[in-house]
Chains A and B, each alone.
Chain A
Amino acid sequence: MTLNTEFNLGTQSDSLFNELLDAHQGLSLDQSSQMNAAMILLLMNHIGDPAVIRDAIARARAALDA
C-alpha cells in the first residue's frame, strides 16, 4: 500500500473539514494540541500500514516548507 493522495472524501469533504474545526472551538492551544494528537493516533492505528504512515509523516513534514 502507498499513501493515497488522490481525493477520497466524496461529497462530505467540506463538511468534515468544518466539523474538525468545530471540534476545536473553545479549546486552548494545549487542549487542541492534545486533541490533534489523539486524532492522529486513532487514524494511525486505523491505517496500520507502517509504509503508509511513514509516507504521511514525511509528506506532512515536507509540507511545512511548501
Chain B
Amino acid sequence: MARYQYEPFDYVTPPELTGQAGTRAPVIIVGAGPIGLGAAVDLATHGIASVVVDDNNVVSVGSRAICWAKRSLEIFDRLGIGDRMLEKGVTWKLGRVFRGDQEVYNFDLLPDDGHKFPAFINLQQYYVEQYLVERCTDFPDLIDLRFKNRVQSVGQDETGVWADIETPDGSYRLDGDFLLACDGANSRLRRQFGLDFGGRYFEERFLIADVEMQADFPSERWFWFTPTFHPGQSALLHKQPDNIYRIDLQLGPDADPEEEKKPENVIPRIEKVVGGRPFKLDWVSVYSFNCRRIDRFVHDRVIFIGDSAHVVSPFGARGGNGGMHDVDNLCWKLAHIINGTSDASLLDSYDAERVHGADENIRNSSWTSRFMSPEPGIEMSFRNAVLSLAVDTPFARRMVNAGRLSVPCQLDSSDLNSHDSDEFDVAMQTGMVCLDAPVRHADGRDDWLMRQIGGGFCLLATGGATIDPATLPDGITVLEIGSGRDGSLEDTEGLVAARYGRGVHLIRPDQHLAARWVAPTPGDITSALARCARIAA
C-alpha cells in the first residue's frame, strides 16, 4: 500500500485582488483543518455560505488526530463523508492495558449491536481533511476555499466582522457577518483577542511516531505501563490504514525534544517496541501537552471552535472529537440565526453547552495524565497500588486509567431542553445524543435511524406512536418508526422501541433529544420547539 501522497491545493487569486467586487461572507472561517472544513460543510448543508481561509495549502502533515469516535463518525456521516471514512479507516473497539508485559485489563467500547458506526476508527487526519476538501467542492456556490490566505488581524463592530488577509498577490479585507476561529491550538486570533488560556501545562514529554511496517498486530489499542521494552515509562501502539502504526512513548520531563527527534535516537526505541520487524519512519514528533480553555467561546461575532478554544492531552481522543462536537453544536444555531428564524441568544447555548463539554474533556484527560505520570511520592504509591491490585482484583482494573475515550457529551442540563413530564424507563434520556438503530423502508431497503433523523429539527415517533402532521409547526420533519402507517419505517430489530420506548421525541438538528412525551398536544410541541430553537419573535 502506497503511503499518503501530499497534493498541494491550488492557490487562486481572490476576487478582491483581481478588480472584481468583493464578497461579503455570511461566515468567514479561519483555518482549514478538520474543524474549519467540517464547519463549512455543515453550514452548507443548512444553506449558509462561507469563505474558508488558510495560510497553508496542504492537508495536515503527519497523522495527528487519528482516533475518530462513533459520535464524530455520525456527524461526518451527516456531512457526507462518513461512509468514506469507515471504508478507509481501521475499525476497532477493544483496548488492552498491560502492566509490564502482562495484560491487566481490557475494555470493549461498543458492547451492544445495532449501530451503523463502530466505537472508533483510526484514520489519519490528512485523509479526513482531504475528504472534507473534496466534499466542499460539492457546494461550489456555498463554500469558497482560499488557500495561502493568511489572516493578519480581525476586527468587528455592531454591523459586522472583517479579516485583513495577506496572499501571494497582496493584501485585502474580507467582510462578513460572523467569523469562526478554527486556527488551532496555537490560535493567532486567540492571541490577538488577548484571551486568557487558563489551565495547566504538563511537563512530561512524549515521542510520537508513525511507522510503516508489515505486522499482524490486531486492530486494538494497546497501552503499557512500564513495559520491559521501555522501562519505567508508558507506551501506546495503535494501527492505522496503509500499514502505518502509531507509537507513543513517554520520555519523562527531562527529555530533550531536538535530540529525541533524531532518527538515530528514535529508531532504537521503535525497534524495541516492534520486536525486530523491519519498518520505515513516516513521521516523528516530540510533544508535551496542555489542558486549557478560554473562558467564553463566543466573543460577539467571533466564535472560537475546536483547539483554538480548548486543548487536552491526546490520551482520550478528545481533541479532534471534541472539536467535531463543537462543529455539530454550533453550525445549526448559526444557520438559524443567519436565516432569521432564531434569536441571536441561541448562541449563548453554544457557549454553555460546549464549555460544559470542554470541561468534561479537560477533566478526563487531566485525570489520565495524572495516572500516567504521577508525582513522585504518594501519588506514585496510589498509582502503583492500582496497577498491582489490578492483577487479581476486578475493581482495580476499572480504576486503571490509560485514557477514558471520547463519548458523546450529555446535555442534560441544557436550557434548550424541556423537562420530561412523562416517565420513560429506557436508555435514552433528554439531552443525550440519539442512539442509532436499524430501520427498514417500506420498499425493503435497510437503513439507519440516525441517517433518517438527519440534520434538521425532527419529530420522532417510536414504539408505534403516531403524529398528526397537520398540527405541526413549520420547519420540522416527521419520522414514524414502527407505527405501520404510510411513510413509517419498520423497527427491524425492535431496537428503536427498546432504546426510546413508546412516545414522541423532539430531536435537535445536532441529533440530541430536546423533549419527549407519551402523547403530546400540538401546544407541547410548539412550545418545546420555540424553547429549543429560540424562535425569533
Q: Which residues of A come within 8 Å of B, CB atoms? A: 30, 33-38, 40-42, 45
Residues of A within 8 A of B378 (CB): 33, 37
CA distance A45 to B394 in the complex (A): 10
| Closest A residue by C-beta to B388 | A38
| Closest B residue by C-beta to A36 | B381
> Contact at B395–A37, with CB atoms within 8 Å?
no
A35 to chain B minimum Cβ distance, whole angstroms, is: 8
> Contact at B395–A30, with CB atoms within 8 Å?
no
CA distance A34 to B383 in the complex (A): 9
A34 to chain B minimum Cβ distance, whole angstroms, is: 5
Which parts of B360-388 form the interface with A (CB within 8 Å)?
377-378, 381-382, 384-386, 388
B interface, over-half SS: helix
CA distance A65 to B389 in the complex (A): 31
Residues of B within 8 A of A34 (CB): 381, 384-385, 388
**Total contacts A to B, CB within 8 angstroms?**
29
Residues of A within 8 A of B399 (CB): 41
Residues of A within 8 A of B228 (CB): none
> Contact at A37–B393, with CB atoms within 8 Å?
no
Q: Does B518 reach chain A (CB closer than 8 Å)? A: no
Residues of A within 8 A of B393 (CB): 42
Residues of B within 8 A of A30 (CB): 381
Which parts of B377-423 form the interface with A (CB within 8 Å)?
377-378, 381-382, 384-386, 388-389, 393, 395-396, 399
> Contact at A41–B382, with CB atoms within 8 Å?
yes
> Contact at A33–B386, with CB atoms within 8 Å?
no
Q: Which residues of B come within 8 Å of A, CB atoms? A: 377-378, 381-382, 384-386, 388-389, 393, 395-396, 399
CA distance A38 to B385 in the complex (A): 5
> Contact at B395–A45, with CB atoms within 8 Å?
yes
Residues of A within 8 A of B384 (CB): 34, 37
Cross-interface CB contact of B389 among A33, A36, A42, cutoff 8 Å: A42
| Closest A residue by C-beta to B383 | A37
* Known contacts A33-B378, A38-B388, A41-B389; 8 further A-B pairs (Cβ under 8 A): A30-B381, A33-B377, A34-B384, A34-B385, A36-B381, A41-B382, A41-B399, A45-B396
| Closest B residue by C-beta to A32 | B381
A10 to chain B minimum Cβ distance, whole angstroms, is: 26
CA distance A34 to B389 in the complex (A): 11
B315 to chain A minimum Cβ distance, whole angstroms, is: 22
> Could you list 29 A-B pairs, sorted by A, with CB under 8 Å?
A30-B381, A33-B377, A33-B378, A33-B381, A34-B381, A34-B384, A34-B385, A34-B388, A35-B385, A36-B381, A37-B378, A37-B381, A37-B382, A37-B384, A37-B385, A38-B385, A38-B388, A38-B389, A40-B382, A41-B382, A41-B385, A41-B386, A41-B389, A41-B396, A41-B399, A42-B389, A42-B393, A45-B395, A45-B396
| Closest A residue by C-beta to B382 | A37
Most buried by A among B385, B388, B395: B385
Residues of B within 8 A of A38 (CB): 385, 388-389
| Closest B residue by C-beta to A33 | B381
Residues of A within 8 A of B395 (CB): 45
Residues of B within 8 A of A35 (CB): 385
| Closest B residue by C-beta to A46 | B395
B376 to chain A minimum Cβ distance, whole angstroms, is: 10
Residues of A within 8 A of B385 (CB): 34-35, 37-38, 41
Residues of A within 8 A of B389 (CB): 38, 41-42
| Closest B residue by C-beta to A34 | B381
Those 7 A-B pairs whose CB atoms lie nearest each other, nearest first: A37-B385, A38-B385, A33-B381, A45-B395, A37-B382, A37-B381, A34-B381
Residues of B within 8 A of A41 (CB): 382, 385-386, 389, 396, 399
B400 to chain A minimum Cβ distance, whole angstroms, is: 11
CA distance A35 to B381 in the complex (A): 8
CA distance A35 to B378 in the complex (A): 11
CA distance A23 to B382 in the complex (A): 18
Residues of B within 8 A of A37 (CB): 378, 381-382, 384-385
CA distance A36 to B381 in the complex (A): 9
CA distance A21 to B389 in the complex (A): 20
Residues of A within 8 A of B386 (CB): 41
A32 to chain B minimum Cβ distance, whole angstroms, is: 9
A11 to chain B minimum Cβ distance, whole angstroms, is: 29
CA distance A34 to B386 in the complex (A): 9
B378 to chain A minimum Cβ distance, whole angstroms, is: 6
CA distance A42 to B385 in the complex (A): 10
